[in-house]
Amino acid sequence: MPVFLINVNGERARVDVEPRTSLLTVLRNDLGLKAAKFGCGQTLCGACTVWVDDRPVYACDVPVEAVGDGQVRTLESLGTESAPHPLQRAIVEGQAGQCGYCLPGVIMRAAAFLRDHPAPSRAEVAEALDPNLCRCGSQQRIVNAVLHAAAEAAR
Amino acid sequence: MTLSPSLAANPLISSWLTVRADGTVTLRVGKAELGQGIHTALAQIAVTELGLSPDQLEVAPLSTAASPDEGFTAGSLSTQVSGAAVRAVGAAARRLFIEAAARRAAVPASSLTVADGAIRTPDGEIVGSYGSLAAEVNLDVDAAGAVPASMVPAGTVPLAERPAQSDLTRIDLPDKVFGRPRFIQDLELPGMVHARVIRPPLLRATLADIPEERLAGLPRAAWMVRDGDFLAVLADREEVADAAAARLRGSAKWEPADDLPEESRLASWLRDQRSETLVLAAGEPAAEPGRPTPPGTTASASYSRGLIAHASIATSCALARFDGRLLEVWSHTQGIFPLRNAIADALGLDKSDVVVRHVEGAGCYGHNPADDVAFDAALLACRTGGRPVRVLWDRAAELGSGPLASAMTADVTAVLDPDGSVRNWTYDVWSNGYNGRPGYAGNPGLLANGYRSGGSALPPSVDPPLASGLGSGRNAVPPYTLGSARVATHRLLSMPIRTSAIRSLGAHFNVFAIESFMDELAAVAGVDPLAFRLARLDDERARGVLLAAADAVGWGQPPGAADTGLGLGYARYKNTGAYCAAAAQVEARESVRVRRLVLAVDVGRVVNRDGVRNQVEGGAIQAASWTLKEQVRFGPEGITSLSWETYPVLRFSEIPQVDVIVIDRPGHPSLGAGECTAGPVAGAIANGLFAAIGVRARALPLTDRNVLRAIG
């Protein structure tokens, strides 16, 4: 199988897979990065959202051969419990989750959105998160957490 | 205070608690974390009763090898039943440790207190701790014997006097927010094989032979397993298994063994099938052939709803390993013991040779495919020479092959007397059964068992008995004082589309129908819907939630905008559980939108206030999604709503503002909060739509198509 060198979370990773293998499979099964989740494999739920060059993408729909020199970032590199991203802090403080399966994708999309829209309205946040599904009904808390993180960053 | 059934089944303290010399305590429970936060609530009860700091206690993952058997995690009963058991066990253990410390220090036990695991005299002197006494306190004793139920602290401190900091935050959330593996989908076992199962497009179908040449296109690294009509592919790499499954799916030819109903005639189809009638209230019906029509105005209406899918955000997953004797299964099931028993039964193994371990999955709202995929993995693990097997369902299977909530239809009639009283309420509801869980109706209830050679087909699902809150008939008996009422359920005896338990069972539909009809009657009577309900509700707790929701939503004030209206819905879940009233602000322009939902709930004594709010909020949003959008679609070839495009659920920008009011009842037993909102939300939205534009939509979901039909 061909070898691909990809940049993930600031490190160079070597993977030996078929070119059409999805970035999601490579992250989860070859690199042991389990944060990005499989939800539908059809770009309809956002559970697999990661960044390539700071833009949110559906990792289920990106073949590894298309990653090239792109810088891939996953939730694992966003923040840690001792040094959380403001959004991670806001989600824990606001208890903005139930099962939490959607959260890695939601957080990556919302964090990218906040970077470009530091002072969004509630409706703008909700619209920005429309590619991501939450089935437990945590949407209101998640939107509150995004707004809270934006407000904190502005202080 | 009666003994919790969980404690009656598992009386020993040692079944629930292990205390170590380092002072840490492990709590074992039989209720599974499904995303609802139950382990956090149970941990909070345990640390409160034991006198521990939260970091001194961990909740063990469930396993049939070690956990107390608490049956299924279902029916909004975990806080009530498991919570009561943990409270009693915690209080009993605390007493035993205090008594041991008192003996050592030769002081009266009644003078000692415990906090952060340390046992102290009134002067603050530490005379022992859980850790220091762990070796000498015997926990192999009956918790109920150690502390009679009457001595278990009732915990009647009002919320206002309990510091909010005493509530634990979700113990599972940090892992999920920081991307640490925690879900079953994240679990890897050394040397595991990835498997995919190829399902027929409808429940009963037989697999025609697969020509050899069609198999030629399979990736070389994949291999196929066929057992009767059960077909799977396995591979070392997941994407190879996926590619092989896609190929086989295109090649496999299925012969349907059942006729599906016509989707557009679903409601009348339900009425036409053979069914079993259960009379829940035997009052006098409104009209009977040969009897004179009673005086007053007779009102009638028919309501209906399509099938609903669990539509979990993850697809179901399981792992299994068989070493020739012991079968180990990792599953996100709602019932590790019933699943273990069903697997052992289906495979002819001894129960003691099957161990089921629970690993968290994505949000679970009832009998989803968790058990089915576990059996898929178990079957395949018997054919891999000891290598562990991981099975993951795809999105289409998750939406189309798992159990669904039955379509339902109901007729309701009542007589409104000139003096305003309602009598002869008559309610008939037709539905498939709401329970096909593993072990029910004497069948393993596992999907693949119906396909493999020598297995047994899934029987039509049944309904839980009255003591468990019924199924099709859940909340079919109206909560109002209505003179005599006749209520009957008609459960279908055939099941071409598989149905089972989903959050609130029949209550979502029944409360929608009852609450819609209450508004219809109020309109006939010319009475305000709130006043109409209050005049027929004697229970102060019922009135309390209804008044609180109405007050918060601004009931009686003019609507803020054109094409906008307010609606109410009320029910006491199962007629014995949590009280819930919903008020909806509904806007009907291009389509129906819910702008705001207010939920007022009374769940008795609140254990964890944010846990209750979170469950109520989530339950309400999910119910709004069911009510507005959700409908399983099908044609003669099987279920066709197999993706998020064809089975849409509410997205972020469609979510209403949700306000939750929790009425604290510290003197009353705790009641589950997860399911009580479903029916009231449906009723409130339908009634809000009527208030907005004067259209009475009697068929759910409230899609453009169904609303346009109601307009006529």
CB-CB under 8 Å, A130 with B652:
yes
C-alpha atoms less than 13 angstroms from C-alpha of B235 in its C-beta half-sphere: 18
Q: Mean per-residue pLDDT for B172-182?
A: 97
Query: What would you measure as the largest C-alpha separation in chain A, in angstroms?
Result: 51
Q: Do A51 and A24 share a structural domain? A: yes
Would you place residue B555 in the very low, low, confident or very high pLDDT band (cuts 50, 70, 90)? very high
Would you place residue B164 in the very low, low, confident or very high pLDDT band (cuts 50, 70, 90)? low
Report how far residue B309's alpha carbon sits from residue B643's, in angstroms, rounded to the nearest whole number.
Answer: 11
Q: Quick check: B170 contacting A, CB < 8 Å?
A: yes
Q: Do A102 and A150 share a structural domain? A: yes
The answer for B 650-679 residues in CB contact with A (under 8 A) is: 650-653, 655, 657-658
Would you place residue A50 in the very low, low, confident or very high pLDDT band (cuts 50, 70, 90)? very high
Mutate to test the interface with B, among A135, A143, A146 (most CBs of B within 10 A): A135
Report how far residue B622's alpha carbon sits from residue B681's, in angstroms, rounded to the nearest whole number.
Answer: 10
Report ipTM (2 d.p.): 0.98
CATH number of the domain encompassing residue A25: 3.10.20.30
* Chain position carrying tokens 């009897």: B291
Would you place residue B560 in the very low, low, confident or very high pLDDT band (cuts 50, 70, 90)? confident
* Chain position carrying tokens 């096909």: B436
Q: Do A69 and A11 share a structural domain? A: yes
Q: Mean per-residue pLDDT for B582-586?
A: 98
* Chain position carrying tokens 């994505």: B362
Domain boundary, last residue among A48, A77, A106: A77
Residue-averaged pLDDT of chain A: 97
The pLDDT of residue B153 is 55
CB-CB under 8 Å, A140 with B621:
yes
The pLDDT of residue B21 is 97
* Chain position carrying tokens 């693990």: B381
The pLDDT of residue B69 is 96
Q: Quick check: A148 contacting B, CB < 8 Å?
A: no
Q: Report the chain B residue with the minimal C-alpha distance to residue A39.
A: B314
The pLDDT of residue B219 is 75
The pLDDT of residue B128 is 96
CB-CB under 8 Å, B312 with A135:
yes
Mutate to test the interface with B, among A58, A98, A113, A146 (most CBs of B within 10 A): A98
B130-144, B210-224, B306-320: lowest mean pLDDT where?
A: B210-224
Q: Mean per-residue pLDDT for B421-445?
A: 94
Would you place residue B159 in the very low, low, confident or very high pLDDT band (cuts 50, 70, 90)? low
Q: Which of B182, B362, B643 shows the shortest C-beta gap to A40?
A: B643
Is it the case that residue B151 has pLDDT exceeding 60? no
Report how far residue B418's alpha carbon sits from residue B294's, in angstroms, rounded to the nearest whole number.
Answer: 12
Nearest 10 degrees: CA dihedral of B38, B43, B44, B45?
Answer: 90
Q: Do A110 and A93 share a structural domain? A: yes
CATH number of the domain encompassing residue A141: 1.10.150.120
Is it the case that residue B212 has pLDDT exceeding 80? no
Q: Do A106 and A73 share a structural domain? A: no
The pLDDT of residue A43 is 98
Strands (E) located in chain A: 3-8, 11-16, 49-52, 55-58, 71-73
Q: Do A119 and A61 share a structural domain? A: no
CB-CB under 8 Å, B315 with A88:
no
CB-CB under 8 Å, B314 with A133:
no
A23: domain range?
Answer: 3-77
Q: Mean per-residue pLDDT for B306-313?
A: 98
Q: Do A146 and A101 share a structural domain? A: yes
How are beta strands B118-120 and B422-431 bridged, if at all?
unpaired
Evaluate whether B564 touches B587 at the Cβ level (below 8 Å).
Answer: yes
Report how far residue B103's alpha carbon sits from residue B95's, in angstroms, rounded to the nearest whole number.
Answer: 12
Per residue in B483-528, pLDDT tens?
A: 889 999 999 999 999 999 999 999 999 999 999 999 999 999 999 9
Report how far residue B341's alpha carbon sits from residue B344's, in angstroms, rounded to the nearest whole number.
Answer: 5
How are beta strands B699-700 and B297-305 bridged, if at all?
parallel
On chain A, the residues whose CB falls within 8 A of the CB of B360 are 99
Would you place residue B3 in the very low, low, confident or very high pLDDT band (cuts 50, 70, 90)? confident
The pLDDT of residue B214 is 67
The pLDDT of residue B294 is 62
Q: What is the 3-state secondary structure (H, E, C) of B659-700?
A: EEEECCCCCCCCCCCCCCCHHHHHHHHHHHHHHHHCCCCCEE
Is it the case that residue B201 has pLDDT exceeding 90? no
Would you place residue B273 in the very low, low, confident or very high pLDDT band (cuts 50, 70, 90)? very high
Residue-averaged pLDDT of chain B: 94
Question: Both tokens of residue B190?
Answer: 């050394």
Query: Edge-to-edge strands of the sheet including B17-19?
Result: B17-19, B25-27, B57-59
Is it the case that residue B213 has pLDDT exceeding 70? no
Mutate to test the interface with B, among A88, A101, A144 (most CBs of B within 10 A): A101
The pLDDT of residue B418 is 87
User: B347: which residues sit within 8 A by CB, 6+ positions away?
Assistant: B327, B354, B378, B379, B382
Q: Do A67 and A94 share a structural domain? A: no
Q: Quick check: A9 contacting B, CB < 8 Å?
A: no
Q: Mean per-residue pLDDT for B17-46?
A: 96
How are beta strands B422-431 and B485-492 bridged, if at all?
parallel
Q: Quick check: B609 contacting A, CB < 8 Å?
A: no
Would you place residue B209 in the very low, low, confident or very high pLDDT band (cuts 50, 70, 90)? confident
Q: pTM for the complete prediction?
A: 0.96
Q: Do A139 and A102 share a structural domain? A: yes
All domains of chain B, ordered by start, with CATH? 5-169 (3.30.365.10), 185-256+311-400 (3.30.365.10), 408-434+471-711 (3.30.365.10)
Q: Report the chain B residue with the minimal C-alpha distance to residue A86.
A: B177
On chain B, the residues whose CB falls within 8 A of the CB of A105 are none
Q: Do A59 and A26 share a structural domain? A: yes
Q: Do A39 and A91 share a structural domain? A: no
Q: Which of B173, B182, B645 shows the shortest C-beta gap to A92?
A: B173
Domain boundary, last residue among A32, A60, A77: A77
Look up residue B493 and give its amino acid.
Answer: L
Q: Quick check: A44 contacting B, CB < 8 Å?
A: yes
Task: With residue B703 as reference, give the H or E element that holds it.
Answer: none
Evaluate whether B356 touches B63 at the Cβ level (below 8 Å).
Answer: yes
Mutate to test the interface with A, among B39, B178, B391 (most CBs of A within 10 A): B178
CB-CB under 8 Å, A138 with B614:
yes
Shortest alpha-carbon distance between residue A14 and chain B (Å): 17
Per residue in B233-248, pLDDT tens?
A: 999 999 999 999 998 9
Count the domains in chain A: 2
Domain boundary, last residue among A77, A111, A141: A77
